[in-house]
Amino acid sequence: MTLHNKIPMKYFLFLSLSLLFLACKSEVETVEEVDNVSPSVVTPVEKNIEILFDEKDFSEPKAAQLLNELKICNPNQKNKNNASEPACDPKFFHILPFIENEKIENAFLLVIRAGVHDWPLRRLLVYQREQGKLVLVNTFVAHLIGSRKSSTKHDDLILQFFDEYENRLQCVYKWKENRYQYDCVEKIEGRRIKKELQDSMNVEIAKVISQNNMAM
């Protein structure tokens, strides 16, 4: 099952993007007036995240142990070019925390490189330990590009999704009711959402993500 065959409305996002760009056409492309941008957008990203999968060793000491517990990789795999049956190696996996002052073995984000297990796109999995076992809380087909501290002690996640036409959709997910849930879209193709369009674009982009099974 591919992302491409999950788009039921071929021109759905194009229409939404057209509305956005028409509203912005009177402005210089690289300049935006803060007064005309949704307040949620101007909140700075506290931490930018770039995962290149170029480490020789895991930056998180317990990463290999956690991957073995999940049985998501083969600890005996010697061929580090085999993404179909990947070794437990930082070339394929990256683990990082998302809850303030929580032990990594009890809650972590797992970023999986594109191509692993023959899945063509990068994935982000959210795990928490419940009654001694690691439980999958969320699955995202997206790039984790940043995080922000929050009052819940669970970092807000800034995720970049790609639609069928490779449009970049930068969205915020917040911790609600024991899982990450969609909050808003902040940028489309690197452009901020204008204040008067924020509510409607939040709804439209949520539909795109849901219809393409990019967040579960």
**Residue 16, pLDDT above cutoff 80:** no
* pLDDT value of position 43: 53
- What whole-number distance in Å separates Cα of residue 67 and Cα of residue 110? 9
**Which residue, 40, 22, 42, 19, is CA-closest to 32?**
42
User: Between helices 198-211 and 12-24, what is the axis angle to 10°?
Assistant: 160
CB 78 within 8 A of CB 91: no
Most confident of 110-119, 162-171, 191-200: 110-119
Buried b (16+ CB within 10 A) or exposed e, 22-43: eebeeeeeeebeeeebbeebee
**Residue 166, pLDDT above cutoff 90:** no
CB 108 within 8 A of CB 97: yes
Lowest mean pLDDT among 29-33, 141-145, 158-162, 173-177: 29-33
CB-CB neighbours of 116 under 10 Å: 21
List, for residues 69-100, the tens digit of each pLDDT value.
Answer: 999 999 999 999 999 999 999 999 999 999 99
Percent of residues, the chain, with pLDDT higher than 90: 75
List, for residues 187-215, the tens digit of each pLDDT value.
Answer: 999 999 899 999 999 999 999 999 999 99
